[in-house]
Amino acid sequence: MTAPTRPTYRFYTATSLDGFLADEHDSLDWLLSQPLGAGTLLDYDAFYAGVGALIMGSTTYQWVLDHPQEQFGDAVGWPYDKPTFVFSHRDLERASDAVTVLSGTPAEHREAIETAAGDHAVWVMGGGDLAAQFARAGMLDEVLVSIAPVTLGAGRPLLGGRVDLQLQEFGRNEAFLEARYTVVREHP
């Protein structure tokens, strides 16, 4: 009998050339002002269609709530129609019945996350410290990153801690370099 397969955990994000997800004020103005076309590798619509559950930290969650028009046009309310798990040490108001606020480690909630994702991927949406926690728990398989042609000098790092990656493929989307990496779990 074969063991059931678990979903693939993917950190799908964008970063500045010097490795920051957001500036020191948690702003994404630097990202939203860049030219963006149809992705060659990291097409959002195709990626999202393969997602069964989302993971994010409280800072990302709050940003999505505060800026729906920045990312989703005329969206009103919670923009995602899939189960979303928000890791936080504080009590947060749920924006939708699809949102679950969790405290603790990724490993403590693995079963609930994977049950919600079903046969689809888990999108580790943000931030970098949370993605690194998932990597340390053995729950991060891929990093899919669009690299913007801008440096910030400071801000929220792409990954909070060491995570070894192996480049699998790359492409271009207007001014962005797109790359797909797998997480290296064991070293020779």
pTM of the model: 0.91
Given a cut of 70, whether residue 118 has pLDDT beyond it is yes
Does the residue 171 lie in any domain? Answer: yes
1 falls in which pLDDT band (50, 70, 90)? low
66-91 residue pLDDT tens: 877 555 555 567 899 999 999 999 98
Given a cut of 80, whether residue 60 has pLDDT beyond it is yes
Task: Decide which of 72 and 65 is more confident.
Answer: 65
CATH code (residue 128): 3.40.430.10
Torsion sign across C-alpha atoms 62, 64, 69, 70: positive
Does the residue 133 lie in any domain? Answer: yes
Does the residue 176 lie in any domain? Answer: yes
- Can you give the residue range of the structural domain that contains 158? 9-17+38-183
Does the residue 2 lie in any domain? Answer: no
39 falls in which pLDDT band (50, 70, 90)? low
Given a cut of 80, whether residue 64 has pLDDT beyond it is yes
123-179 residue pLDDT tens: 999 789 999 999 999 999 999 999 999 999 999 999 988 999 999 999 988 889 999
Does the residue 3 lie in any domain? Answer: no
Does the residue 32 lie in any domain? Answer: no
How many structural domains comprise the chain?
1
Does the residue 99 lie in any domain? Answer: yes
Taking a C-beta distance cutoff of 8 angstroms, is the pair 91, 84 a contact? no
